Structure 1
């Protein structure tokens, strides 16, 4: 038996390691050349302290109160030198990856498909060289080197972790480096280098209703999240509000319909900004957050969209006195993903 442990470092790098049954996270990391912080390895100093966001584990009782208090343990703090997983886990490591002598990984692949979904968005599908696909947390992003340039651009996965084919929704920007490549030069079989995964915007363990707020190509990470939720099953209510500027910017609604069939607890609504649109719901996502989907604040909110959208939602929550149980968001500019919280 082996478990997959996601180590999320404070610089946004995520490293996945395998942990054998009965093995501590610290030992597993060192075995795979990830030097997690450590002084004593005996549960005495607290140097290896981190935070377990999800997963099951045993901490035993061999560590000192000075290293990890009962209050810290109740909040999910762990000592990696004592932590023995009994399931896959996600752990926040409060240092930069470079200090642990590890770095973001690189993977290679080939262009499998490029499809212009609308004037505003392009779908890129990459066939990864590794038969096992790539490990990442649903919602994370990766850097993609733009062929024939020195540039890279960052995009959230719309596919599920471990898929042999990784897919991305990319905003089509006039004269954009990646957009120009995809619309003018890309052909099936082109070689691509991808660096990652990265980011702290990802699906946490589902313990209450979820509200997903997607703006434009910010839909991508939610498609990845929904893929995993559909595979594992989820009874908690999940509602998405998907906003775009124009009618023909709405893409992947067929995929959302398919998720609604697979996940009976999932519903979604679409919103169009354009006042000339005949769409039944016009305006911004903040205009359509009914009390029914807010669950009196007993909700986890995930938001991905351009900075003005993120700022508008933050202001709306503040003005309405809305305080979700948890709120995770990612701003993206036309050129890259980032700013996760």
Structure 2
């Protein structure tokens, strides 16, 4: 049985390698033509030091404290030349992918379905060819999608779980936007080129309470995360707040509620900012965050939305001196229309 090791580089690129039983991560990476930082490879210099974000592993005792202190090990730092995984793991590598002689992966997919949701968003479903390997990614990550004929790309988070041949994306409609314009004339069977995965916004391990804050199409990565948790039979206490500007911006709520049926400890609150709305909850996401969940200090907060929402939540936590167990966020900015050439 091989274990999958996700290597997250500081330039946002993620590469996945298979690690054989008893194999050290550094050796597995080299076998996959990824040159992780190293010098001695004997647990002496500390050059190969990375951070283990999740997973189980054995470090053995064949390294000296100058290379990895007890305090560093307690903080999740590892020596990849000594680390032998006993489960899938995620590692944060403190250098760029280019420095490790690797880079982004590119793959092709075919449009399977395009489903508009009023003027708010579009669900784009792509399928991998029968001969292609489904791309590996961490739930919450994104890819760049080349927009045919534009010479540019747009970035979108996966809304589906890793390992599926069908890849889902929730795309905000933007008047005259490059992707929105292409989607208006696209049809099943069209080919797209994708590059990735990328991003440091992804679901970490843990069993503490989880507060998910989604703004608009920032719901997409949470659909991926919640699907993974549902398949794992997670018993974590999870609260999702899904905030939008208008009633029409609430999309895929049925899918969220279907996930809630599979996750017995998942509660969901939808919030509409428009004061004229007759929605049960109006205002801002910060007005509806559960105080008892925040006060306990053991909650992991994940936040994905437009910059004003992200900044407002960060300010709220600072103003109220709330220190969650962990706080992960991602901002997204609507892509401007492509300017015509002179």
Matched, 1:186 2:186: yes
Aligned mates of 2:143, 2:73 — CA distance in 1:
32
CA RMSD after TM alignment: 1.0
Match of 1:137 in 2: 138
Aligned-residue offset at 1:248: 1.4
Matches within 5 A, 1:1-341: 1-129=1-129, 131-183=132-184, 185-335=185-335
Whether the 8 Å contact between 1:214 and 1:305 is mirrored in structure 2 is yes
**How big is the shift at 1:118?**
2.6
Using the TM superposition, give the Cα deviation of residue 234 of structure 1 relative to its aligned residue in structure 2, in angstroms: 1.1
Instruction: Give yes or no for contact 2:295–2:322 (8 Å, CA) kept in 1.
Output: no
Aligned to 1:339: none
The alignment partner of 1:321 has SS state of: coil
Contact 1:39 1:47 in 2 (8 A): yes
Deviation at 1:295, TM superposition (A): 4.7
Structure 1 runs, 4 residues or longer, greater than 6 Å off: none
Q: Report the Cα distance in structure 1 between the residues aligned to 2:151 and 2:215, rounded to whole angstroms.
A: 29
In the alignment, is the contact (CA less than 8 A) between 1:132 and 1:163 conserved in 2?
A: no
SS state of the match for residue 260, structure 2?
helix
> Aligned partners of 1:229, 1:194: CA distance in 2, in Å?
26
Q: Look up the SS of the partner of 1:109 in the other structure.
A: strand
Q: d(CA) in 2 for partners of 1:44 and 1:296? A: 41
**d(CA) in 1 for partners of 2:18, 2:290:** 43
Query: Once the 2 structures are TM-superposed, how far is the Cα of residue 206 of structure 1 from its aligned partner?
Result: 2.2
Per-residue CA deviation, residues 131-189 of structure 1 (Å, 9 max, x unaligned), is 54111000000000001110100000000001101000000000000000001x20111
Q: Distance in 1 between matches of 2:148 and 2:111?
A: 11
- Counterpart Cα distance in 2 of 1:199 and 1:87: 22
Secondary structure of 1:297's counterpart equals coil
Alignment coverage as a number of residue pairs = 335
**Conserved? CA contact 1:209–1:295, under 8 Å:** no
| TM-score of the pair, normalised by structure 1 | 0.97
Shift of 1:293: 3.3
Are the counterparts in 2 of residues 120 and 171 from structure 1 also a CA contact under 8 Å?
A: yes
Pairwise CA distance, 1:335: 2.1
Q: Structure 2: which 5+ runs fail to align?
A: 337-342
